[in-house]
Amino acid sequence: MNELPKHPEPPEIPPAHGVVVLGRFQPFHKGHELLINSAVEWREKNNPKLKIILAIGSSNRPETLRNPWTAEERKEMIEAWALDGKIERYEIVAIPDIDDPPNWVSHAEMYHGGPGVLFTSDMETAELYRSGRWEVIASPLESRELFEGWRVRETARMMSTIAEVEAVREVLGATVPMPVIDYLVGIDGLKRLAFLGEGGEPVG
């Protein structure tokens, strides 16, 4: 296996500890929106001074159907969603994969700071962070069968050759926020899905 490039390099000074929401955001969908809203609600009730840190994983993965959008594009999806004040006092960081779960938390802390509070719907991630002395709030993902990333990508792939923007917005709107759909349409970010040539992603 080829070693993954370490891109980006960690900042010289990582952010101060905050409330971290970690995801691949491939693409940013309504399940992510629910998780972030839960993190914001917790922050406002418990420690309003903390910053929300949205950590984009897999920033160094090559383009595939599983990872069709770059870290910068995913950052811009989140910013498009957040543009009308949906979230305040937040920072977005990109974190490269290392394929080394036992050392993931210490690696990620160089990018998102810590230990702090992690909001996640992934139980394996929750256990990794708990073992790293983080406070972890496991938030069950509502309508998981609807918001699984591979399902959202497959729907987007089916719509990738549709030229009628309103049809794309209507179909993807069930799982993806409209500002994100409009962003993807604006950069032709859906069309690439038709040419990645991997076939559908399996369940599981």
* pLDDT grade for 140, boundaries at 50, 70 and 90: confident
* Nearest of 120, 118, 122 to residue 134 by alpha carbon: 118
Say yes or no: 131 and 151 in one domain.
no
pLDDT one-digit tens code per residue, 19-76: 999 999 999 999 999 999 999 999 999 999 999 999 999 999 999 999 999 999 999 9
pLDDT at residue number 198: 57
Q: Which of 121, 138, 155 is the last residue of a domain?
A: 138
Say yes or no: 48 and 133 in one domain.
yes
CA dihedral 189, 55, 146, 43 (to 10 degrees): -130
Asked if the structure places residue 13 within a domain, the reply is no
- Calpha distance 73→193 (Å, rounded): 14
Q: Which of 138, 156, 182 is the last residue of a domain?
A: 138
Say yes or no: 128 and 156 in one domain.
no
Asked if the structure places residue 156 within a domain, the reply is yes
Asked if the structure places residue 48 within a domain, the reply is yes
Domain CATH for 81: 3.40.50.620
Say yes or no: 134 and 172 in one domain.
no
pTM, full prediction: 0.91
Domain total of the chain:
2
Task: State yes or no: pLDDT of 1 exceeds 70.
Answer: no
**Residue range(s) defining the domain that contains residue 98:** 19-138
Q: Which residues of 174-188 are buried (b: 16+ CB within 10 A; e: fewer)?
A: ebbbebbbebbbeee
pLDDT at residue number 147: 73
pLDDT at residue number 14: 87
- Report yes or no: 147 and 28 within 8 Å, Cβ to Cβ: no
* Nearest of 199, 171, 201, 200 to residue 185 by alpha carbon: 171
pLDDT at residue number 6: 85
Beta bridge partners of 136: 118
**Regarding predicted confidence, which is higher, 94 or 15?**
94
pLDDT at residue number 169: 97
**Regarding predicted confidence, which is higher, 3 or 66?**
66
Asked if the structure places residue 200 within a domain, the reply is no
CA angle 89/61/33 to nearest 5° reads 35
pLDDT at residue number 141: 64
pLDDT at residue number 200: 46
Question: Considering only 88-102, 109-123, 143-157, which range has the smallest mean pLDDT?
Answer: 143-157
Say yes or no: 44 and 125 in one domain.
yes
